[in-house]
Structure 1
Amino acid sequence: MLATFLIGLREGLEAALVVGILVAYLTRLDRRDVLPRMWAGVGAAVLLALVIGAALTFGAYALTFQGQEIIGGTLSLVTVAMVTWMIFWMRRAGRTMKAALRGGVDRALATGTVWALVLVGFVSVAREGIETTLLLWSMVQSFGDAPSAILGAALGLAVAVLAGWLLARGAVRLDLSRFFTWTGGFLVIVAGGVLAYALSDLQEAGVLPGPFTAVAPLDAHGSVLIGLAGLPFGWAFDLTATIRPDSALAVLLQATVGFLPRMSWLQVIAWALYLVIVGALFVRGLRRSSVTRRPATRPAGSSRPSTPAAHVAAVPATVSSTPEGAS
């Protein structure tokens, strides 16, 4: 529940901030008359996300077990790719998000067509909505359709909507840069777990070699080998006798660090490589941002910069991806 709550909160807040920026800008332009068009686009994006979620939840049951596993594993891989891209995109594009959205509104108002502004609202929210739907669906599948996971996501989205509204009204201030930094790091870990679960699905379907296929190394009793003897297509470890897969501890470990009581070598290697590579890139990006935002210091006795350009260069960058009144 905590894992899906945090995901619903982060992804929902991204969408809420986008809507807040659009509403604040149209209000400042004194164009409240076009707000219904923008809300129509937002509503269409939310409906699209719900339709995709319903199709994923109810549409796969007519397939064979192998077909369900292939679809589930493939969509989980797509989810990992989207989440990874969004983590780094949010950090790069966060500072220019407000300007980009305003530019889209200006172009829509200039054309004078209803569909132009509907499209601005739709595209701005659809990306976050589809990503959230895929990520939550993948996690709920890995948790075994636990009602608490669905409830956590719903609560996270509800809090995100409330927080976005308060930010847009200027009633609350939030360090969005720090918020997205911490939740971005959390999403890196979550995406690693989704990747491991995706590979498990594809191995069970026989698409990838592993313990469920003919290439699995077996002992004298026909059981799949565990540990170093099981390299590369056996089990890396099997702790199911100690940690039941349906226990609270197993669910907690899976939700936080992507750990499963039993994992194949392919899962472990892919999980570790993802965390090491993507985690290193994420931390390196944070260090670069910290250096960029750090104000320049002048040596003792040096004079104040004489040119406006030099003065501006010494000012740390600020996050401008918030609605009016939010920081």
Structure 2
Amino acid sequence: MFANYLIGLREGLEASLVVCILIAYLVKTDRRDRLPPVWTGVGAAVALSLAFGALLQFGSSTLTFEAQETLGGTLSVLSVALVTWMVFWMRRTARHLKSELHGKLDAALAMGTGALVVTAFLAVGREGLETSLFIWTAVQATGDGWNPLVGATLGLLTSVVLGWLFYRGALKINLAKFFTWTGGMLVVVAAGVLAYGVHDLQEAGHLPGLRTLAFDISTTIPKTSWYGTVLKGVFNFQPDPTTLQVIVWAAYVVPVLIFFFRKPTNPAALAAGSVPDTTAA
């Protein structure tokens, strides 16, 4: 549940910050009459994300076993690629996020109501679709029924509350450090999802080595034990992974974490690590 809570919190907070910036800008520039189109776009983005998640869940249940494994493995790899891009993008462009959104909003205001709806929809929709895809693949990886969904929902609700507190100026937090450390933790979670996706593709017959295990410590860490369940839920740990799973996991997590936590070497990169006050106009 914790891993999915982290996903919901991390991804949801990005969307919440985007909404805060859009709303704060309209309020501070005395354009409250343009708020309804923005909320319409946000609502449409949320609805699309929920529909996408439902499509993934119910659509995959009608497929054959091989097709399910192929779909699960392919979407796992895709979600890991999107999340990896997202954590690096957020760390690099956080400082300019506010001005970028303000520029898009000014252009949308000049074009009319429809453009406002589209701007809000696109700003939030990308985060929502990424979140739906990653949560779905994480849920498939853990295979733990409703607990992952409960964790993700609690994370999303927490992000909404934090976003509201940021908007009201009632909460101050170093968002640069928050996104850095949660991003690093998310990379570890993504590595587990990637390994799970590789196993799916092996079961579907697209990758070799399904019967070649790197190690098997199932007797030491049983899958049904409480600590085995915790390791599975948080890190997608598998006590009997294939050799290819271990190779892919290490080949992803080691270089990605090194690049992610590497300190910037020039002033421009250092400046990109800060996050602006989202409540300012």
CA distance in 1, matches of 2:195, 2:68: 17
Q: Is this contact kept in 2: 1:237–1:264, CA < 8 A?
A: yes
Instruction: Give the secondary structure class of the aligned counterpart of 1:23.
Output: helix
Alignment deviations for residues 101-125 of structure 1 (CA, whole Å, 9 cap, x no partner): 00011001111x2210001100110
Q: Which stretches in structure 2 are left out of the alignment for 5+ residues?
A: none
CA distance in 1, matches of 2:122, 2:8: 19
Task: Specify the code of the residue in structure 1 equivalent to 2:175.
Answer: L
Which residue of the partner structure matches residue 288 of structure 1? 264
Task: Specify the code of the residue in structure 1 equivalent to 2:155.
Answer: G
Instruction: Give the secondary structure class of the aligned counterpart of 1:124.
Output: helix
CA distance in 1, matches of 2:229, 2:268: 39
Structure 1 residue runs of 4+, over 4 Å off?
none
CA distance in 2, matches of 1:116, 1:273: 43
1:154 aligns with 2:153: yes
Instruction: Give the secondary structure class of the aligned counterpart of 2:119.
Output: helix
- In structure 2, the CA distance between the partners of 1:138 and 1:244, relative to structure 1 (3 Å rule), is same
Which residue of the partner structure matches residue 105 of structure 2? 105
Which residue of the partner structure matches residue 189 of structure 2? 190
Which residue of the partner structure matches residue 256 of structure 2? 278
CA distance in 1, matches of 2:173, 2:61: 43
- In structure 2, the CA distance between the partners of 1:294 and 1:318, relative to structure 1 (3 Å rule), is closer
- In structure 2, the CA distance between the partners of 1:152 and 1:122, relative to structure 1 (3 Å rule), is same
Task: Specify the code of the residue in structure 2 equivalent to 1:6.
Answer: L
CA distance in 2, matches of 1:268, 1:318: 32
1:242 aligns with 2:220: yes
**TM alignment of 1:288-307, pairs within 5 A:** 288=264, 292=267
Alignment deviations for residues 26-84 of structure 1 (CA, whole Å, 9 cap, x no partner): 00111111110001111111011100100111111111000001001101110000000
Q: Is this contact kept in 1: 2:9–2:158, CA < 8 A?
A: yes
Give the structure, 1 or 2, with the largest relative contact order (CA under 8 Å, sep 6 or more): 2
Percent of matched pairs sharing the same residue: 52
CA distance in 1, matches of 2:162, 2:19: 12
Deviation, 1:245, is 2.0
Rg bigger for which structure? 1
Instruction: Give the secondary structure class of the aligned counterpart of 1:256.
Output: helix
Q: Is this contact kept in 2: 1:170–1:325, CA < 8 A?
A: no
Aligned residues: 281
CA distance in 1, matches of 2:136, 2:189: 13
Q: TM-score scaled by structure 1?
A: 0.82
Q: Is this contact kept in 2: 1:138–1:194, CA < 8 A?
A: yes
- In structure 2, the CA distance between the partners of 1:320 and 1:279, relative to structure 1 (3 Å rule), is closer
1:256 aligns with 2:234: yes
Which residue of the partner structure matches residue 86 of structure 2? 86
Task: Specify the code of the residue in structure 1 equivalent to 2:215.
Answer: F
CA distance in 2, matches of 1:294, 1:16: 25
CA distance in 2, matches of 1:194, 1:171: 36
Q: Is this contact kept in 2: 1:15–1:129, CA < 8 A?
A: yes
Task: Specify the code of the residue in structure 2 equivalent to 1:324.
Answer: T
**TM alignment of 1:119-158, pairs within 5 A:** 119-158=118-157
Q: Is this contact kept in 1: 2:24–2:280, CA < 8 A?
A: no
Which residue of the partner structure matches residue 274 of structure 2? 319
Deviation, 1:2, is 1.2
CA distance in 2, matches of 1:66, 1:245: 24
Q: Is this contact kept in 2: 1:237–1:262, CA < 8 A?
A: yes
Q: Which has the higher helix share?
A: 2
Q: TM-score scaled by structure 2?
A: 0.95
Deviation, 1:276, is 1.2
Deviation, 1:16, is 0.3
**TM alignment of 1:25-64, pairs within 5 A:** 25-64=25-64
Which residue of the partner structure matches residue 176 of structure 1? 175
Task: Specify the code of the residue in structure 2 equivalent to 1:288.
Answer: P
Q: Is this contact kept in 2: 1:190–1:255, CA < 8 A?
A: no
1:199 aligns with 2:175: no
Instruction: Give the secondary structure class of the aligned counterpart of 1:238.
Output: coil
Task: Specify the code of the residue in structure 2 equivalent to 1:52.
Answer: F
Which residue of the partner structure matches residue 4 of structure 1? 4
Task: Specify the code of the residue in structure 2 equivalent to 1:238.
Answer: D
Deviation, 1:317, is 6.9
- In structure 2, the CA distance between the partners of 1:173 and 1:245, relative to structure 1 (3 Å rule), is same
Task: Specify the code of the residue in structure 2 equivalent to 1:44.
Answer: A
Q: Is this contact kept in 2: 1:169–1:325, CA < 8 A?
A: no
Alignment deviations for residues 219-252 of structure 1 (CA, whole Å, 9 cap, x no partner): xxxxx4xxxxxxxxx1101122222223322232
